[in-house]
């Protein structure tokens, strides 16, 4: 059979379920990401869990829930070999509407860093535009603790009539001054043996004009923030910044302050599997272009979410959708219930 014929058959069925990833019997680990499987796979789940524990994987969590989503049974926060049999039996005995959740984290991964594609996106003063979308600015001390409510911190603004800085600036005024501080961001192609190009960012707070601000801590001199050198020059060694989330760090010892940004926290190389086991049995239906009645019979027997039709269709027609060993294209569908009236 071919994908196109199967897709036509599927699109002719008015109700269809979503395609979901499953793990094959030969695999000894769960897929990375979120997976939903039938409770009939309890033997495979047991085998994979035993392999994880034997390999020294720790922190495996297993939780069971009733049909209302309330916890039931024993909650396991660090699966041990002696508990695997219990998990298998509980999964095997799941009733309609009940489910189990298994989470396995192999590694948290490492912080994502800039590559040339991301750096080029910051060219042509793109950082200036991104900073312009900020809705607030955080003010913290050198240890990262918020000092926005610290009585020793004074936000000052320039008073044109008094030709001097005075207390009473608001965070919104500090944010506005921060946005205006950014002037340029320019990408330069890599040279020599450098892994990536660089982005140079310039930012300078206005001084002694309407809208200018300074920060004063305790008895230290009031000063305007300066752009953190780590932000001023970006390359492949730097973690990804969210330029819509500015952070001013005040050194409470000398009163100086640096302007930086929150990091996105994006990770690469993370391996985390979240498996939801539902109370269900497997029913394999072979559908081909000349056997449309099988698809129709499936639709008459079970109720599927209409909203997931598109996801299933896209899965079936995807260019990387591979055949099984039997030369068929396979999708896994999860109905929401069984029809009471199966008559056509």
Q: What's the whole-number average pLDDT of the chain? A: 84
Tell me, yes or no, whether 248 lies in a domain: yes
Contacts of 252 (CB under 8 A, 6+ apart): 141, 142, 147, 152, 217, 218
Overall domain count for the chain: 2
- What is the C-alpha radius of gyration for the chain, rounded to an integer number of angstroms? 29
C-alpha 167/C-alpha 236 separation (Å) is 41
pLDDT score recorded for residue 327: 59
Tell me, yes or no, whether 148 lies in a domain: yes
Out of 250, 268, 286, pick the residue that ends a domain: 268
pLDDT band, residue 13 (cuts 50/70/90) = very low
Per residue in 223-273, pLDDT (tens digit) is 999 999 999 999 999 999 999 999 999 999 999 999 999 999 998 888 889
C-alpha 189/C-alpha 199 separation (Å) is 9
In terms of domains, do 155 and 172 share one?
yes
* Residue 292 pLDDT greater than 60, yes or no: no
Tell me, yes or no, whether 6 lies in a domain: no
Name the range with the highest mean pLDDT among 18-27, 178-187, 328-337.
178-187
Tell me, yes or no, whether 157 lies in a domain: yes
In terms of domains, do 78 and 160 share one?
no
In terms of domains, do 120 and 259 share one?
yes
* Residue 134 pLDDT greater than 90, yes or no: yes
Domain span holding position 125: 116-268
Out of 242, 268, 294, pick the residue that ends a domain: 268
In terms of domains, do 81 and 121 share one?
no
In terms of domains, do 261 and 224 share one?
yes
Tell me, yes or no, whether 197 lies in a domain: yes
* Residue 159 pLDDT greater than 80, yes or no: yes
Task: Provide the token pair at 118.
Answer: 């991301």
């Amino acid at each position: 059979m071919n994908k196109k014929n199967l897709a036509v058959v599927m699109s002719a069925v008015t109700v269809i379920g979503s395609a979901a990833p499953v793990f094959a019997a030969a695999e000894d680990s769960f897929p990375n990401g979120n997976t939903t499987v039938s409770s009939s796979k309890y033997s495979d789940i047991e085998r994979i869990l035993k392999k994880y524990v034997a390999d020294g994987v720790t922190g495996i969590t297993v939780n069971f829930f009733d049909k209302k989503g309330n916890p039931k049974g024993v909650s396991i926060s660090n699966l041990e070999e002696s508990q695997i049999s219990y998990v298998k039996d509980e999964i095997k005995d799941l009733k309609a509407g009940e489910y189990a959740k298994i989470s396995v984290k192999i590694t948290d991964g490492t912080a994502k860093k800039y590559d040339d594609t991301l750096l080029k996106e910051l060219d042509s003063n793109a950082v200036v535009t991104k900073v312009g979308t900020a809705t607030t600015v955080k003010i913290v001390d050198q240890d990262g603790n918020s000092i926005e409510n610290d009585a020793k911190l004074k936000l000052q603004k320039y008073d044109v009539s008094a030709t001097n800085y005075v207390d009473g600036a608001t965070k919104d005024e500090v944010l506005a001054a921060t946005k205006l501080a950014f002037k340029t961001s320019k990408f330069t192609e890599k040279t020599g043996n450098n892994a990536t190009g660089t982005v140079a960012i310039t930012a300078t707070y206005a001084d002694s004009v309407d809208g200018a601000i300074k920060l004063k801590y305790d008895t230290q001199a009031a000063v305007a923030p300066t752009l953190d050198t780590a932000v001023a020059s970006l390359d492949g060694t730097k973690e990804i910044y969210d330029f819509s989330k500015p952070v001013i760090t005040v050194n409470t010892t000398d009163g100086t302050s640096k302007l930086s940004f929150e990091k996105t926290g994006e990770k690469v190389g993370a391996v985390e599997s979240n498996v939801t086991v539902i109370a269900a049995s497997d029913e394999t239906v072979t559908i081909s272009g000349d056997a449309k009645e099988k698809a129709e019979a499936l639709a008459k027997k079970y109720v599927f979410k209409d909203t997931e039709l598109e996801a299933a269709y896209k899965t079936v027609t995807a260019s990387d959708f591979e055949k099984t060993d039997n030369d068929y294209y396979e999708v896994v569908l999860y109905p929401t219930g069984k029809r009471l009236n199966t008559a056509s």
